[in-house]
Every structure is written in structure tokens, then in C-alpha cells.
Amino acid sequence: MIPVAGVENVRVAVLGLGRSGLSAARALRAGGAKAVCWDDNAAAREAAEAEGFACVDLMKPGAFEAVAALIVSPGIPHLYPEPNRVIAAAWAAGVPVDNDIGLFFRSLGGATWDRFDVAPRVVAVTGSNGKSTTSALIHHVLCAAGRDAQLAGNIGRGVLDIDPPGDGGVVVLELSSYQTELARALTPDVAVFTNISPDHLDRHGGMGGYFAAKRRLFAEGGPDRCVIGVDEVEGRFLANQLSEGVGDDRVIDVSVERKLTGPGWHVFARKGFLSEYRKGRQVGAIDLRAVAGLPGEHNHQNAACAYAVCRTLGLGPREIEKGFQSFGGLPHRSQLVGEKDGVRFVNDSKATNVDAAAMALKAFPRVRWICGGLEKDGGLGGLLEAAGSVVKAYVIGREAAKFAVQLHGFEVEVCGDMGTAVARAAAEAEPGEVVLLAPAAASFDQYDNFEKRGDHFREEVAKLL
């Protein structure tokens, strides 16, 4: 655990008692604070009370008297589409609002680090797509190379649940826009921007607000080195803002769309080959085509970002390649869950938006595509450009028919539920084809989260196998 610094004998309120909220309450208590907690869910309050935390309705008059700060869980909106009532009450009372990420960065380190030969470092990864795989891949490569590394944030453990890092240790954090938009402290040593595409627009008041939430990690954090995906205009804008001029190798540009050369530090992947260029010369390369855990162009972008981070942390190309080869991939992200009679079944339930689903479709030559769910803003137009590999789509979700009418250029069948979709796709699939779950939509119309949706796909496939 990372005890929160600077809160001894201070009263701090915690709103939201999921994983990050309870973790923050524990770390606050470990730092000497009195944590008062609230969650609208009675079961969550009971769990907190079982650990000895006082639960106080923060909407009651006087609830914020003598409260030094309000710590908010990431799923609770603080600005758009409208502020949560408790957050608005904290504003009115003049109480600073923060989250567990802010507590982590302000509490990490201290006088004990003076005894280290090599100070620990923090790598923070954000972006629309691929940040989970990129974070896990960085962590895996570091561990495979014998480095002390921990994985936390939006993946793995809560940021305050990790062990204090030791000499030369690396903490790898996956950070969502929900986490970066509110944290009052953001000071990673290395920051990564994978890519950006429309997502969570209601939460951020549009694309500009969404990008602004991501940009805070770089603009306010002042990292020593930045790895920036430059295949979107926002990435190119960000890289330009962070660079002090031509040849500034504190910014590493990453692309899967074009070769990057010239002054500076560049990593790009094209046609399955990753290349590293510095000062106009190639200094490293990896053949990604045979890396089973990283199929497709989208995973090659993840690999390029992870490669750049590991290089800046002192690993050599061959060490990184060895780590790539042993990486098994993440559940629900281009995860091979079975094969029968030459047909592969791949679970990419995490492809909850159009861009992520498009990348998944591009990774395979002939696809029986299971899609549908709670549609996000923007429609499916951009996805159809990447659907040339689709043999047939099998649509699920409560509004499957509405989703299906937007699909054209291939055969479409409205199935409604996962069991029907998997059975129909498997029955019609031919050797060499892939039955792919890549929903291009949120899961909340039928499932609690994308993990439950992916697990259901795996269960249905297991019945067939």
C-alpha cells in the first residue's frame, strides 16, 4: 500500500466505494487521515463499514464541515453531462476535489528514496484504444527482462494498493480520461499517448473535452519523456506542443501508418515490421508477424508504444523482442479462445467503440463478425470502411435491428443474443475464417460490463468445442 502523504489527523471524504474508492479510503487511513465514506449503493456502504469506515451521507447539511478534501471515484461525473450533486456541494463548501490518481502522485516517493542507487520510475499510459494491452505489454517485457515492475491503475491493482517500489522499480499505470481529467497531481516520468478516437463524449462535453482530459497527463505532468502516437491530428498537435524543436528526443513519435525518419526519435510498424530510428538512422527492428500475442495493426501500434517505453528505460531491442514473444495477450482483447475444424474464435469484447472494432476487423482476412450493443455517439460510418474482411455480421443487443440497418456491403443477420449469434456464426463458418466478437458498442444493454460479455462469448464457444 502507498499511504497518502500530508493527511495526518485530517478529515477526508470519499465518494464511491468501488475498487478505487475503498483503496483510497484504506490509503488515507494508513496516512493518518480520518476517512468518511459514501456510496448510494447500500451493499457498498456495508462493505466499507465492515472495514471500520464511517459512512456519512454527504448530501446532508453540514456534511463538509471540517472536511479537507473530497476524493471521487472515476465513474462519477464531475462536470458533464452534469456534476454529481455531492461534487457540486463540495464546490459550494470550498472543498478541493481530487481522485486516487492525484493522491498517488503526491504520495509516491520521499526521503527514503535517497538510499536508492536508481530512483523508481512511473510510466503512465493513456489513449482511446490499446492502453490496456500497451500497459500490460510494458509490464510483461520489464518482468521478462528481470526488472522490478508493478502494473496498476485502470488495469490490475488500484494505484494505492501497490507496494512501495524498490531500487530501480518501475510502476506502469493505465490511466483513463476519467482518471486524468480530475487528478490534481500528475507527474509520471514517462507518459504515453497511444491514439484518440471519439469515446465517452457525453462525459467530456464533446471531442475537445475528451482530448483535453488526455492532454492533462502531458501538459500538467511534465514527464521526462513522452511517447506519442501521431497517426491522428491530435497526436501530431500534442507531439509538436511537447517538443522544443527539431531533433528533441524527449518526444518519441509512433506510427503504424507511415515511415518516420529525420531528426529525433521515431518508432513505427509497417507490414508487420517494427523499426526504430534515431537521428535519421535505423538502430533497431523486430519482426512482429510471428508474435502470436500481438495480432493485427492495432496490436503493432501497442507494440511500438511499448517498445519505445522499454527503450527509454534502458532495455535493448533483443530483450524487448524476447518479451514480446512470450506475451500471451489480455482477456477480451483479440484473445484466441478456441479453434475447431480450421475456424478460430476470437474474443475482442473490449472493442467497445468504432475505431477499436475496425482495428480488430483489419487483423483477420475472413471474418464472421458478432457485433452490436449499446451504440455510442457518431454512428458506424467509419467502421464500414474497415469491414472488407467481413463475410457476414451477426448482430446482438436489445436494439439489434436498429444496429443492423446501418451495416451494408455484406450479409447481416439479426440474432439478438450471444448464444444465437455464436451458434449461427459457427455453423456457417468455413476453414480459414474467424468468428470474431468485436461489438463496436458498449455492453450495458445486456451485460454489466465488457468482461461479462466476453465471458459469455467464451462460454458459448466452449459449448461448441
Domains of the chain with bracketed CATH: 11-98 (3.40.50.720), 109-325 (3.40.1190.10), 335-464 (3.90.190.20)
23 is an annotated ligand-binding site residue:
no
Total residue count of the chain as it appears in this document: 465
- 287 three-class SS: strand
Question: What is the C-alpha separation between 439 and 447, in angstroms, rounded?
Answer: 12
Given this model, what pLDDT does residue 378 score? 66
How does DSSP assign 169-202, residue by residue? -EEEEE--HHHHTT-S----SEEEE----S-SHH
- 268 three-class SS: strand
Own/partner pairs, 103-106, CB within 8 angstroms, 24+ separation: 103/4, 103/24, 103/27, 103/28, 103/71, 103/160, 103/185, 104/2, 104/159, 104/160, 104/185, 105/183, 105/185, 105/186, 105/187, 105/188, 106/4, 106/5, 106/6, 106/184, 106/185
Sheet of 390-396: strands edge to edge?
Answer: 335-340, 343-347, 434-437, 367-371, 390-396, 411-416
133 is an annotated ligand-binding site residue:
yes
Given this model, what pLDDT does residue 276 score? 97
Question: What is the C-alpha separation between 19 and 75, in angstroms, rounded?
Answer: 11
Mean pLDDT by 10 residues, the chain (465 residues): 95 95 96 96 95 96 95 93 95 97 93 88 95 95 97 91 95 96 96 92 92 94 94 97 90 96 94 94 94 88 98 97 92 89 94 88 93 82 83 95 92 96 97 96 92 96 94
CB 399 within 8 A of CB 423: no
Q: How many other β-carbons are positioned within 10 Å of the β-carbon of residue 261?
A: 14
264 is an annotated ligand-binding site residue:
no
Whose CA is closest to 137, among 120, 125, 154? 125
109: left (phi over 0), alpha (psi -120 to 50) or beta: left
Amino acid letter, 187: T
156 is an annotated ligand-binding site residue:
no
Q: Residue 61 to residues 65, 86, 89, 149, 152: CA-CA distances in angstroms?
A: 9, 11, 10, 45, 36
275 is an annotated ligand-binding site residue:
no
Three-class SS of 293-337: CCCHHHHHHHHHHHHHHHHHCCCCHHHHHHHHHCCCCECCECEEE
Question: What is the C-alpha separation between 247 and 18, in angstroms, rounded?
Answer: 45
Helical (H) or strand (E) element with 282: strand 281-287
130 is an annotated ligand-binding site residue:
yes
Question: Phi and psi dihedrals of 297, rounded to 5?
Answer: -60, -40
270 strand-pairing partners? 273
pTM of the model: 0.85
Cell numbers given for 348? 475482442
Own/partner pairs, 56-64, CB within 8 angstroms, 24+ separation: 56/13, 58/13, 58/15, 58/86, 58/89, 58/90, 59/85, 59/86, 59/89, 63/13, 63/89, 64/13, 64/89, 64/90, 64/93, 64/95
129 is an annotated ligand-binding site residue:
yes
